[in-house]
């Protein structure tokens, strides 16, 4: 019997006798390219038996194959595999015993064979409809021989040529039309792509104008400093605080940078610091600023030497009327010397970018500057209409025409590129007349650190020469010729040049009074650029030429008051110098016209005179050792002149540093670094959260088997420091100790602290929250430093300090009444081996621990017993509790207070959801009594100190805990604490020092 079927215009002829015999179960065959082998679908039971890889291979093989169509059983069979009722309705056929066992190749498992019976009758229409899907799928698979949708895939492999892709005449005639349409479609898509992104070639991208446009576009989100491109080639760049800053150099130069700090000069770009200018009456300014500072922390804005403009000052600012709580952060300030007969003053405040927003808000509040001054409207250049000849043809390269050359060239972006032109930068008070100006990125600030920093400045900067007498009568648009016309200003310029000449006779920058300010006008240092790098060293001959009396007077009294004046204070002068700066192209053109190549330009161009300010930066002022270490100079310039001064300074042999060296510089000086070491500031808390997220992400990237189990090490918070919880727990300990002092006079202090902390754990939540603060009162710090019995770095001898009252109970009570919830900045030195790490734990030693010191100076400290991991069973999903015991019986006795029922963590949904193996989930248990030694604080900076020659750590401890520990120690052991790294169980002895 033969059946003819037409599907989609294709006539197919079937031999029903052979087709029907294959309907029940078709023996599967392998399929080759262009040939289809029908295969009966596997049952669900067989698919479960298949492995995942075999299932994937089978799905891939059967991807383009037609699916089998079977009829359901009925009274009339069509080949034994399906039955069709009279209406053609499909019904399921009951399975035979051997079919229920699963499908298998060849004969059945029970020895049976395939059904070979011929059906008695067949419904042709229903059978054809069922096979129409198979035929359509078969034809689709035959026509689509490859996975590509290109027209070349329809050809056999031996007829394909590479030239067909661009020459359609190589194709057969029947495929040329399709290929031509596809080519036109691809050309249209390519032309659209080129119109969206022009100048894709490297040659076009490297054009100067296009580079400037690209750099300006990339500065919309993060501000670039003027030395950004120079740093990007030599440093690892990080995006912080809205800037793109250099972090550390790509080369290994940590020790060379330290040697530069100690013996020569290190150069840094601090232009990212924000400058805020205040203008107004002196009394109004001082009255407003007094609300943001306190005299207890040191000299304020009203200090005599700072107010005269002779010295730069520094102070910690607070929110209005909130001292000692809610600090904003440290700032440096500089007063402009007062003009004769004028009561108006000008003040610059330099602050870190993270505290600029809060500082501006507080200044506007206390100065009553609510009215924003609208910025001047910059006229927008109108674009010329584009003519048809100027339009670029799609698919062709853009050529530079005369019209392009005559158009305005791309300008380098100076200042803050992320700021909108309509954003106000000035605010004025209608009541007091005070004006606040935001001068962020309006000036460049370089810092030179090291004893030879003034030698580098003396060789790089040369005082500007006077303008010619014959040219004074000519009007000029430049600021320096107009400045030279006034005789009084030229007299001042000569006195400043003489004071600058005296710096060459000083051997070290630390010999000058801290904060000295010198105003100066210098020539463009590119005019005196050496041909190769030379290391600037002090000259004995130049030192002998300097008058010794004047040099000694300069070292004792500093620069005279009138020499601190500078034209850099005037905005009009700064703008004039920036706009008229000589470009590198013009400067090279002038050099090319010299008679002798390499000689100096003489006379110097009038636009090469630049007003600058030299501000002395004091070195180490705290403690009794390494006085004036790390002193240097700050160089203030108008914007746009950054690279013009940076390259000449680098050619004098200085080392360059980034953010990492700023942190190391603060660590060697022993001072807190902002915002790392200001936990009570908003910026410090934000930095701690960012640091915790970064360290936690790094911890989770490690394989679970390679992570440190901080739970077993007894470290509750390895990536952050819970200062608030520490201060609250110590305050509760102090309150409870006062109540139970009479009943517990015979018991040990350590046992009392541990038991009280355990019993008062639930009281922390009920007590009202009080903010933690850092102790910055100089009088209290001096008293606390004397009680710590300060010694030299490695404890060889005692330091001479002022006589302080004895540390007894009344003195301690009165001190804690004023500063109970405070933290104190301490310096910890390891007399023996050991290297402190970040977030190391500072603990109080027991009486048995202090006896180990009598064995020798290099005696090792105690060991922390291994803790139990309470969350190990929960991670494995087991309902049983952990039954692992401690290492020894002695450890069980020492850790009995850690394994009580009150210490056992309770199951909570929060802990189970965001749980990380090896870390304690929130909320944390008691931080003071969690370990075998009572916790006093944590380390925020720790490393091996090259300046001291041993391990040095800086951090905070609780004032209450420190006084409790000092009062229970003997005089010979007073000030000895324990330090343990988060990844270690070994305690090290450290000597605590509070430097004031």
Sole residue written with tokens 């989930």: 921
Q: Where do we find the tokens 């010794």?
A: 548
Segment 6-13 mean pLDDT: 52
Report, as an integer, the average pLDDT of 646-666.
93
Give, in order, the Cα–Cα distances in Å from 419 to each of 40, 219, 244, 823: 70, 10, 15, 38
pLDDT tops 70 at residue 759:
no
Let me know if residue 651 belongs to a domain.
yes
Domain boundary among 136, 167, 196: 196
Does residue 400 lie within any of the structural domains? Answer: no
Q: Is residue 231 predicted with pLDDT exceeding 50?
A: yes
Q: Do 171 and 48 belong together in one domain?
A: no
Q: Dump pLDDT digits (tens) for 263-276.
A: 999 999 999 999 99
What percent of the chain clears pLDDT 70, i.e. is strictly above it?
A: 74
Conformation bin of residue 949: beta by default, left when phi > 0, alpha when psi is -120 to 50:
left
The pLDDT assigned to 392 comes to: 45
For residue 980, give both structure tokens. 């343990």
The pLDDT tens digits for 672-694 are 999 999 999 999 999 999 999 99
- Give the Cβ contact number of residue 397 at 10 Å: 12
Say how far apart CA 636 and CA 644 lie, in whole Å.
Answer: 13
Q: Is 593 a residue whose pLDDT tops 90?
A: no
d(CA 273, CA 92): 82
Question: Does residue 135 share a domain with residue 251?
Answer: no
- 278 and 265 inside one domain: no
Q: What's the gap between Cα 301 and its chain centre?
A: 32
278 and 180 in a single domain? The answer is no
Last residue of a domain, one of 112, 147, 182: 147
Q: What is the pLDDT of residues 829-857, one digit of tens each?
A: 888 888 999 999 999 999 888 888 877 76
Give residue 503's pLDDT: 82
Same domain, 107 and 190: no
pLDDT at res. 376: 66
- For 287-317, what is each residue's pLDDT tens digit? 999 999 999 998 999 999 899 989 999 999 9
The model's pLDDT over 198-214, given as tens digits with 9 standing for 90+, comes to: 556 888 888 888 888 88
The residue that leads in pLDDT, 461 or 800, is 461
Q: What is the pLDDT of residues 471-496, one digit of tens each?
A: 666 777 888 888 888 888 889 999 99
Of 168-182, 645-659, 795-809, highest mean pLDDT: 645-659
Looking at the structure, do residues 632 and 780 belong to the same domain, yes or no?
no
Element (H, E) at 269: strand 266-269
Tell me the C-alpha distance between 235 and 229, whole Å: 10
**Residues 859 and 913 grouped into a single domain:** no
Instruction: Give the CA distances from residue 439 to residues 8, 278, 519, in Å, rounded to whole numbers and listed in that order.
Output: 78, 10, 19
Same domain, 532 and 655: yes
Nearest alpha-carbon partner for 7 in 134, 197, 103? 134
Region 565-573 average pLDDT? 91
Burial class (CB in 10 A: 0-12, 13-18, 19+), 30: exposed
Query: pLDDT at position 146, please?
Result: 54
Does residue 786 sit within a domain? yes
Output the DSSP codes for 819-874.
Answer: HTTEEEEEEEE-SSS----TTPEEE---HHHHHGGGG-TT----BPPPPP-TTHHH
pLDDT for the residue 842 = 94
pLDDT tens for residues 365-414? 999 888 888 776 655 444 444 444 444 444 444 444 444 444 556 677 77
| pLDDT band at residue 874 using 50, 70 and 90 as cut-offs | low
- Read off the pLDDT of each residue in 157-167 and give the average, rounded to a whole number: 78
Give the Cα separation of 505 and 550 in Å (integer): 10
Secondary structure letter of residue 543 according to DSSP: H
Of the two residues 47 and 862, the one the predictor is more confident about is 862
Q: What is the pLDDT of residue 763?
A: 43
Query: Which residues, 6 or more positions from 93, have their beta carbon under 8 angstroms from its beta carbon?
Result: 72, 73, 81, 82, 83
**Structural domain harbouring 900:** 870-877+891-917
pLDDT digits (tens, 9 = 90+) for 907-941: 444 444 467 888 988 888 899 988 999 999 999 99
Lowest-confidence range among 25-39, 234-248, 872-886?
Answer: 25-39
Q: What is the DSSP letter of 43?
A: P
Specify the pLDDT at position 761. 47
Asked if residue 240 and residue 108 are part of one domain, the reply reads no
Q: What is the pLDDT of residue 354?
A: 94
**Residue 859 pLDDT > 60:** yes
Please check whether residue 460 is in contact with residue 521, taking contact to mean a CB–CB distance below 8 angstroms: no
Q: What is the tally of structural domains in the chain?
A: 6
Residue 201 in domain:
no
- Say which residue the tokens 């290099």 belong to: 858
Higher-confidence position of 891 and 157: 157
Q: What is the pLDDT of residue 903?
A: 46
Question: What does the pLDDT read at residue 211?
Answer: 84
Same structural domain for residues 553 and 615? yes
Name which of 144-158, 170-184, 517-531 the model is least confident about.
144-158
- Structure confidence at residue 194 as a pLDDT band (50, 70, 90): low
Average pLDDT score over residue span 308-328: 92
Question: Which has more confidence, 528 or 377?
Answer: 528
Residue 375's H or E segment, with its range, is: none
Q: Which of 229-243, 799-813, 947-961 has the lowest mean pLDDT?
A: 799-813
* pLDDT > 60? residue 80: no
Tokens of 452: 């030879």
Looking at the DSSP assignment, which residues form a beta bridge with residue 942?
Answer: 953
For 236, phi then psi, to 5°, come to -80, 125
Q: How far apart are CA 107 and CA 103, in angstroms?
A: 10
State pLDDT tens for residues 136-151: 877 777 666 555 567 7
Q: 155 falls in which pLDDT band (50, 70, 90)?
A: confident
In order, the DSSP letters of 614-660 are EEEE----SSSSSTTTT-EEEEEEETT-HHHHHHHHHTTT-EE--HH
Looking at the predicted structure, is the pLDDT value of residue 246 above 90? yes
Least confident of 20-29, 157-166, 276-285, 317-326: 20-29
Average pLDDT over residues 947-972: 90
- The domain that contains 428 carries what CATH number? 3.30.70.1400
Q: Indicate if 258 and 334 belong to the same structural domain.
A: no
pLDDT score for 192 = 64
pLDDT at residue 96 in the model: 45
Q: Tell me the DSSP string of 310-356.
A: SB-EEEEEESTT-TTSSEEEEEEEEEPPPPTT--EEEEEEEE-GGGH
Identify the pLDDT of residue 11. 56
Which SS3 state, helix, strand or coil, does residue 377 take? coil
pLDDT exceeds cutoff 60 at 960: yes
Average pLDDT over residues 786-796: 72
Whether 202 is covered by a domain: the verdict is no
Distance of alpha carbon 303 from alpha carbon 313, whole angstroms = 8
- Of 2-16, 358-372, 816-830, 883-897, the poorest mean pLDDT is in 883-897
What was the pLDDT predicted at 883? 40
**Contact criterion met (CB below 8 Å) for 987 and 843:** yes
Q: Return the higher-pLDDT residue of 746 and 945.
A: 945
Distance of CA 524 to the CA centre of its chain: 35
Q: Which two tokens stand for residue 442?
A: 């309006």
Name the residue with higher pLDDT: 936 or 789: 936
Strands 976-980 and 841-843: antiparallel
pLDDT in tens, 715-725: 999 999 999 99
Q: Is 380 a domain residue?
A: no
| pLDDT (0 to 100) of residue 206 | 83
Mean of the per-residue pLDDT values of the chain? 78
What pLDDT score was predicted for residue 161? Answer: 79
Q: Are residues 783 and 701 in the same domain?
A: yes
The whole-angstrom separation of Cα 752 and Cα 995 is 31
**Domain boundary, last residue among 383, 408, 440:** 440
Q: Answer yes or no: is 758 within a domain.
A: no
Q: What per-residue confidence (pLDDT) applies to 339?
A: 81
H-only helix segments in 706-762? 723-740, 749-759
CATH code of 976's domain: 2.40.30.110
Pairing of strands 988-993, 976-980: antiparallel
- Confidence band, pLDDT 50/70/90 cuts, at residue 417: low
User: Is residue 97 over pLDDT 80?
Assistant: no
Assigned domain for 812 exists: no
């Amino acid at each position: 019997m033969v059946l003819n079927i037409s599907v989609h215009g294709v006539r197919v002829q079937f031999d029903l006798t052979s087709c029907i015999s294959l309907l029940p179960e078709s023996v599967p065959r392998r399929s080759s390219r262009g040939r289809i082998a029908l295969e009966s679908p596997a049952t669900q039971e067989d698919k479960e038996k298949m492995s995942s890889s075999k299932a994937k291979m089978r799905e891939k093989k059967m991807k383009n194959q037609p699916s089998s169509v079977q009829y359901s059983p009925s009274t009339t069979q069509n080949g034994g595999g399906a039955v069709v009722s009279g209406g053609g309705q499909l019904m399921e056929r009951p399975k035979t015993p051997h079919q229920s066992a699963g499908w298998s190749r060849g004969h059945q498992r029970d020895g049976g064979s395939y059904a070979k019976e011929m059906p008695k009758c067949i419904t042709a229409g229903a059978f054809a409809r069922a096979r129409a899907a198979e035929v359509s799928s078969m034809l689709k698979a035959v026509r689509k021989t490859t996975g590509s949708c290109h027209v070349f895939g329809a050809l056999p492999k031996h007829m394909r040529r590479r030239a067909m892709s661009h020459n359609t005449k190589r194709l057969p005639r029947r495929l040329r039309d399709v290929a031509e349409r596809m080519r036109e479609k691809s050309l249209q898509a390519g032309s659209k792509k080129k119109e969206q992104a022009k100048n894709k070639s490297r040659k076009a991208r490297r054009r100067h104008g296009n580079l400037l446009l690209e750099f300006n576009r990339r500065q919309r989100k993060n501000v670039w400093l003027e030395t950004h491109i120079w740093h990007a080639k030599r440093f690892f760049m990080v995006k912080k605080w809205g800037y793109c800053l250099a972090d550390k150099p790509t080369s290994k130069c940590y020790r060379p940078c330290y040697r530069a700090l100690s013996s020569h000069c290190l150069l840094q770009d601090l232009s990212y610091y924000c400058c805020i200018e205040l203008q107004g009456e002196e009394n109004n300014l001082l009255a407003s600023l007094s609300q943001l500072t306190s005299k207890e922390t040191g000299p304020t804005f009203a200090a005599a030497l700072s107010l005269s403009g002779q010295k730069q000052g520094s102070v910690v600012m607070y929110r209005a009327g909130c001292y000692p709580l809610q600090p904003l952060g440290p700032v440096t300030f500089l007063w402009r010397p007062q003009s004769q007969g004028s009561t108006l003053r000008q003040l610059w405040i330099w602050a870190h970018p993270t505290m600029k927003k809060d500082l501006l808000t507080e200044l506007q509040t206390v100065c009553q500057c609510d009215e924003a001054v609208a910025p001047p409207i910059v006229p927008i250049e109108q674009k010329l209409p584009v003519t048809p000849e100027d339009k670029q043809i799609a698919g062709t390269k853009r050529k530079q025409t005369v019209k392009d050359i005559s158009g305005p060239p791309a300008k380098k972006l100076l200042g803050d590129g992320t700021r909108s032109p309509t954003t106000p930068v000035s605010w004025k008070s209608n009541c007091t007349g005070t004006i606040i100006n935001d001068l962020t990125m309006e000036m460049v600030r370089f810092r030179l650190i090291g004893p030879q920093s003034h030698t580098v400045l003396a060789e790089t900067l040369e005082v500007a020469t006077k303008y010619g007498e014959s040219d004074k009568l000519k009007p000029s648009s430049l600021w320096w010729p107009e400045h030279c016309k006034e005789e009084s200003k030229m007299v001042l310029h000569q006195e400043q040049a003489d004071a600058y000449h005296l710096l060459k006779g000083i051997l070290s920058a630390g010999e000058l009074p801290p904060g000295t300010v010198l105003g100066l006008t210098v020539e463009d240092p590119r005019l005196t650029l050496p041909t190769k790098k030379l290391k600037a060293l002090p000259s004995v001959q130049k030192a002998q030429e300097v008058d010794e009396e004047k040099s000694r007077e300069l070292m004792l009294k500093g620069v005279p008051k009138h020499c601190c004046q500078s034209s850099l204070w005037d905005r009009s002068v700064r703008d004039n110098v920036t706009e008229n700066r000589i470009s590198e192209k013009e400067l090279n053109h002038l050099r090319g016209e010299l008679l002798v190549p390499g000689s100096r330009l003489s006379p110097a161009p009038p636009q090469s005179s630049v007003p600058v300010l030299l501000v002395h930066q004091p070195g180490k002022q705290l403690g009794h050792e390494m006085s004036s270490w790390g002193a240097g100079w700050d160089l203030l310039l108008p914007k746009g002149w950054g690279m013009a001064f940076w390259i000449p300074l680098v050619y004098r042999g200085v080392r360059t540093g980034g953010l990492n060296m700023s942190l190391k510089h603060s660590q060697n000086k022993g001072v807190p670094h902002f915002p790392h070491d200001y936990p009570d500031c908003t910026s410090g808390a934000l930095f701690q959260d960012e640091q915790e997220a970064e360290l936690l992400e790094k911890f989770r990237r490690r394989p679970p088997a390679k992570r440190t189990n901080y739970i077993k090490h007894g470290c509750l918070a390895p990536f952050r420091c819970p200062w608030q919880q520490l201060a609250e727990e110590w305050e509760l300990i102090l309150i409870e100790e006062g109540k139970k002092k009479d009943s517990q006079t015979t018991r040990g202090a350590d046992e009392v602290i541990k038991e009280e902390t355990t019993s008062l754990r639930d009281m922390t939540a009920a007590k009202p929250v009080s903010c933690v603060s850092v102790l910055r009162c100089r009088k209290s710090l001096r008293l606390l430093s004397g009680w710590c019995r300060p010694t030299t770095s490695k404890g060889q001898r005692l330091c001479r300090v002022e006589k302080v009252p004895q540390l007894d109970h009344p003195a301690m009570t009165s001190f804690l009444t004023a500063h109970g919830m405070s933290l104190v900045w301490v310096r910890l030195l390891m007399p023996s081996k050991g290297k402190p790490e970040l977030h190391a734990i500072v603990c109080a030693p027991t009486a048995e621990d202090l006896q180990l010191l009598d064995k020798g100076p290099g005696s090792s400290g105690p060991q922390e017993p291994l803790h139990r991991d309470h969350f190990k069973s929960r991670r494995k999903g087991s309902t049983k509790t952990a039954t692992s015991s401690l290492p020894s019986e002695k450890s069980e006795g020492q850790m009995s207070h850690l394994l009580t029922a009150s210490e056992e963590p309770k199951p909570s949904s929060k802990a189970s959801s965001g749980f990380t193996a090896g870390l304690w989930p929130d909320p944390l248990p008691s931080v003071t009594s969690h370990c075998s030694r009572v916790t006093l604080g944590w380390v925020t900076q720790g490393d091996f100190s090259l300046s001291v020659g041993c391990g040095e750590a800086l951090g905070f401890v609780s004032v209450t805990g420190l006084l409790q520990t000092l009062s229970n120690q003997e005089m010979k052991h007073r000030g000895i604490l324990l330090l343990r790294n988060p990844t270690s169980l070994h305690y090290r002895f450290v000597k605590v020092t509070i430097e004031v």
